[in-house]
């Protein structure tokens, strides 16, 4: 009996201490809460007492994050753009938004170092690099439409992390870049042709798979609790938080401060529902999605199994893909 008890105890210990939560850690645009959660060890400390390890994965692309969740390699998308979530529906990948992170309309920029390109109209027939899917792709399409152009009017080359290097190597005439890349590109002499301001607003959220949310609701609640702690830390220790971000993004403190001033840290999408509706309509018009997902009303939260989670938060943040 004692031997059996020892074996059982060992099994329980191995089962408990072998647990791990895989979280994406995108470095752009300015995921300040996530930066603080990681580098101050807040998330690690919260779960260490239960023998649960936190493993961060450096995946910036929204669609890559989502596909990693679908493949069972990622449990929580620490910060993923809503455009990618909407597009993923077309690939039958369903995630649940459990918390908003931030929004910004200066986080994306269309840039060039080509002296002959003075305006968006000059891009006709030129080669432009941009990720496929996600907010950068959406921004490019929005910019073209505003200037009475389509993707057919340019030589569009899908690139993920190579767009920045390709532009400076002279392989492309322009590129759509994220925040940190924009800051670095400006210092190297690149010019901003336009930002997303007035066109769209990038909205970043925390998202998880439906099975993970259902099976580990307590873990999700604890994750969100830690994110609240990070927000409190940022409020009380702004300089230290921004210094962590500057080091993480490899840009100056002044540049991070500028990004912070133009980025709104949020918990819900309550102020962005109209923007989200506009995104869905635009993506549908551009044939990037086959049908329009339904945005939940506040009352709809009662239909979700998130009974113990903050209902106001979920109802204002969740998107139904049914």
* Per-residue pLDDT tens digits for 47-100: 998 999 999 999 988 889 999 999 999 999 999 999 999 888 777 787 888 999
Q: pTM to 2 decimals?
A: 0.83
* Residue 305: band (very low, low, confident or very high) from pLDDT cuts 50, 70, 90: very low
Residue 273 has pLDDT above 90, yes or no: no
Which class for 258: exposed (0-12), middle (13-18), buried (19 or more C-beta within 10 A)?
middle
Closest-CA residue to 167 (of 196, 141, 192, 197): 192
Residue 13 confidence (pLDDT):
41
Residue 149 has pLDDT above 90, yes or no: yes
Classify 115 in phi/psi space as left (phi over 0), alpha (psi -120 to 50) or beta. alpha
Residue 250: C-alpha distances to residues 30, 183, 258, 319 (Å):
12, 10, 14, 34
Residue 203 confidence (pLDDT):
92
Alpha-carbon span 222 to 216, nearest angstrom: 10
**Local structure of residue 92 (DSSP, 8 states):** T
Which domains does the chain show, CATH number per domain? 2-104+202-320 (3.40.190.10), 109-195 (3.40.190.10)
Contact 209, 70 (CB under 8 A): yes
What's the mean pLDDT in 277-288?
Answer: 91
Residue 282 has pLDDT above 80, yes or no: yes
What's the mean pLDDT in 259-271?
Answer: 88
Q: Which residue(s) pair with 127 in the sheet?
A: 155
Alpha-carbon span 135 to 84, nearest angstrom: 7
- 99-127 pLDDT, tens digit per residue, is 999 988 787 899 999 999 999 999 999 99
Helix (H, G, I), strand (E, B) or coil at 206: strand
Rounded mean pLDDT of the chain? Answer: 84
Residue 104 confidence (pLDDT):
85
Strand order from edge to edge, sheet including 20-24: 53-57, 20-24, 76-81, 202-209, 95-104, 264-265
Phi and psi, residue 288, nearest 5°? -85, -15
Q: What is the 3-state secondary structure (H, E, C) of 250-315?
A: CCCHHHHHHHHHCCEECCCCCCCHHHHHHHHHHHHHCCCCCCCCEECCHHHHHHCCCCCCCHHHHH
Which class for 177: exposed (0-12), middle (13-18), buried (19 or more C-beta within 10 A)?
buried
Length in residues, the chain: 322
Contact 180, 29 (CB under 8 A): yes
What's the mean pLDDT in 118-141?
Answer: 93
């Amino acid at each position: 009996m004692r031997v059996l008890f020892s074996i059982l105890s060992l099994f329980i210990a191995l089962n408990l201490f072998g647990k791990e939560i895989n979280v994406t850690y995108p470095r752009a645009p300015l995921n300040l809460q996530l930066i603080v959660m990681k580098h101050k060890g807040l998330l690690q400390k919260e779960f260490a007492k239960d023998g649960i390890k936190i493993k961060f994965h450096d995946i910036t692309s929204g669609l890559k994050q989502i596909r990693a969740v679908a493949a069972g390699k990622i449990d929580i998308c620490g910060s993923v753009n809503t455009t990618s979530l909407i597009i993923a529906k077309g690939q039958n990948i369903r995630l649940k938004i459990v918390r908003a992170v931030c929004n910004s309309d200066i986080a994306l920029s269309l840039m060039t170092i080509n002296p002959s390109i003075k305006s968006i109209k000059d891009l006709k027939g030129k080669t432009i690099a941009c990720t496929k899917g996600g907010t950068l792709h959406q921004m490019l399409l929005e910019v073209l439409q505003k200037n009475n152009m389509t993707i057919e009017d340019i030589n569009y080359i899908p690139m993920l992390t190579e767009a920045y290097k390709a532009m400076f190597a002279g392989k492309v005439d322009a590129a759509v870049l994220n925040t940190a890349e924009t800051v670095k590109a400006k210092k190297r002499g690149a010019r901003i042709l336009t930002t997303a301001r007035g066109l769209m607003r990038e909205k970043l959220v925390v998202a998880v798979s439906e099975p993970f949310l259902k099976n580990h609701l307590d873990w999700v609640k604890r994750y969100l609790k830690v994110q609240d702690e990070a927000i409190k830390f940022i409020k009380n220790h702004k300089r230290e938080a921004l210094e962590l971000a500057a080091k993480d993004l490899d840009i100056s403190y002044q540049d991070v401060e500028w990004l912070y001033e133009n980025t709104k840290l949020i918990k819900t999408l309550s102020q962005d529902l109209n923007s989200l509706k506009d995104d869905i309509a635009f993506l549908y018009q551009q044939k990037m999605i086959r049908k329009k997902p339904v945005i939940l009303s506040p009352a709809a939260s009662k239909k979700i199994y998130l009974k113990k989670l903050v209902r106001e938060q979920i109802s204002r943040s969740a998107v139904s893909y049914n």
